[in-house]
Amino acid sequence: MILKNCVGLITGASQGLGKAFAESLLKKGAQVVICDINQAQGEITRAEFDLRYGPGRTAFITCDVTSLPQLKDVFSQTVQTFGRLDVLCNNAGINNENSWERTISVNLVALIQASYLALDHMRRDRGGKGGSIINVASMSGFVPAAHAPVYTASKHGVLGFTRSLAEASSLGNYGVRINALCPSFVNTEILETVNHEENLGIFYQFKDNVKNLMQAFGVLEPSDVANGFVQLLEDDNLNGAVMKITTSKGIHFENY
Ligand SMILES: NC(=O)c1ccc[n+]([C@@H]2O[C@H](COP(=O)([O-])OP(=O)(O)OC[C@H]3O[C@@H](n4cnc5c(N)ncnc54)[C@H](O)[C@@H]3O)[C@@H](O)[C@H]2O)c1
Ligand SMILES: CCCCC[C@H](O)/C=C/C=C\C/C=C\C/C=C\CCCC(=O)O
């Protein structure tokens, strides 16, 4: 996919990885819609992007991705504002073992819902122009984590859903590529959750385990992951791919 003049929608993009993904699209000459539950930070990020990349190329929409009406409104506003939708990145995510149902709602249910809404816009077999969906999973999609069993379950689910939807897209000639992005530890706010009992709940006793893992495996920067994000979008041969990004091996793919 040529990213210049594309329209990308990224969830949870007020900060962190989503912000880095949005900026990588802007650098490629695309237009972006960033949506996030954090309105204050979202407006700051939009203003930052307007200064850096010119006005009118970034839209921010306040949205709780677990609200279907709000999610539908984001897609409608995206097409109304920029005329099309070429890229969806399901990035919004939380790590909360206390509110574990919400973790599943944000990390998996909303991702599924947004993927279906994107397909409604993109599917060539239904009059769309095709497109690309990137679902942000994690290395937690491969390995057990005593400190975060439900977060881990959500990311395992993202991989199964992504690979299955990619197979459906291929067999059904949707013209939509759907791939998963699995970073290891990245220097963003979500890592801070391991220090809070309100996030880890009864698994707070294992916080030192995950801190030791971070020490052992290292922590990436969002820009490292954004490079993989762009590669998944630009390589038209990738559908159903599971891209891993780790400090030790960099960008590589899971071979099933
Ligand atoms: N940082 C890491 O180590 C790491 C590693 C692998 C995968 N991930 C995944 O990357 C994604 C982005 O997380 P991050 O690392 O940038 O952390 P982050 O906490 O900095 O960013 C998450 C963003 O999602 C937003 N968000 C949360 N709930 C939302 C909701 N209901 N509706 C809309 N927006 C919502 C937050 O406001 C925030 O802006 C998540 O899916 C996370 O699981 C992170
Ligand atoms: C810390 C909780 C919130 C962020 C989790 C994020 O998804 C990062 C996950 C990273 C790894 C999965 C957790 C534990 C597995 C242990 C080691 C895997 C590291 C693999 C590697 O970097 O080579």
Confidence of residue 63 (pLDDT cuts 50, 70, 90): very high
pLDDT tens-digit readout, 24-57: 999 999 999 999 999 999 999 999 999 999 999 9
Evaluate whether residue 239 is within a structural domain. yes
Q: Is the backbone of residue 128 left (phi > 0), alpha (psi -120 to 50) or beta?
A: beta
Evaluate whether residue 180 is within a structural domain. yes
SS3 47: helix
- How many domains, the chain? 1
Evaluate whether residue 119 is within a structural domain. yes
Rounded Cα–Cα distance for residues 139 and 213 (Å): 12
Look at residue 173 in the predicted model and tell me its pLDDT. 97
Per-residue pLDDT averaged across 84-97, rounded?
A: 98
Rounded Cα–Cα distance for residues 95 and 107 (Å): 9
User: Dmax of the chain from CA atoms?
Assistant: 53
Rounded Cα–Cα distance for residues 215 and 209 (Å): 10
User: What are the distances in angstroms from CA 159 to CA 69, 128, 182, 244?
Assistant: 25, 25, 9, 12
The enclosing domain of 232 has a CATH number of 3.40.50.720
Ligand nearest to the CA of 247: 2
Look at residue 191 in the predicted model and tell me its pLDDT. 97
Look at residue 207 in the predicted model and tell me its pLDDT. 96
Average pLDDT over the chain, rounded to an integer: 98
Using the mean position of ligand 2's atoms as its centre, give its distance from the Cα of residue 81 in Å.
37
Confidence of residue 224 (pLDDT cuts 50, 70, 90): very high
| Catalytic residue (one of 151, 174, 204, 256) | 151
SS3 178: strand
53 assigned to active site: no
Look at residue 74 in the predicted model and tell me its pLDDT. 98
Evaluate whether residue 2 is within a structural domain. no
Evaluate whether residue 127 is within a structural domain. yes
pLDDT tens-digit readout, 113-150: 999 999 999 999 999 999 999 999 999 999 999 999 99
Domain hosting 82: range is 7-253
pTM exceeding the 0.90 threshold for the entire prediction: yes
Residues having CB closer than 6 A to ligand 1 are 11-12, 14-18, 36-38, 63-66, 91-94, 106, 136, 138, 183, 185-186, 188-191
Evaluate whether residue 244 is within a structural domain. yes
Evaluate whether residue 1 is within a structural domain. no
Given a contact cutoff of 8 angstroms between Cβ atoms, the answer to whether 10 and 93 are in contact is no
ipTM of the complex in this document? 0.96
Per-residue pLDDT averaged across 76-100, rounded?
A: 98
Look at residue 149 in the predicted model and tell me its pLDDT. 98
Evaluate whether residue 224 is within a structural domain. yes
| % of residues, the chain, pLDDT over 90 | 100
